[in-house]
Amino acid sequence: MTKELSSKIVEIAHARRRFGYRRIHDMLRPDFPGVNHKKVYRLYSAANLAVRKRKKAKRP
């Protein structure tokens, strides 16, 4: 189950770059009902995933 979960987390993270582990956890709930947010965070971090930060607009 962990490998399935890990691959699904990576898949969602690449499809939705602006989603962090919390939103990914919400998306995983229907497919993995027993999954905990702490486990999702652990796997998210282990895969070296992070939310892409927006560039700041230059002020004139």
Check residue 51 and give its pLDDT. Answer: 86
Domain spans in the chain, listed from the N-terminal domain onward:
2-46
Higher pLDDT pick, 1 / 23: 23
Task: Render pLDDT for 4-60 as a digit per residue (tens, 0 to 9).
Answer: 988 999 999 999 888 999 999 999 999 999 999 999 999 988 988 888 888 888 888
Q: Is a pLDDT exceeding 80 seen at residue 2?
A: yes
For 16-42, b/e burial (b = at least 16 CB within 10 A) is eeebebeebbebbeeebeebeeebbbe
Check residue 23 and give its pLDDT. Answer: 93
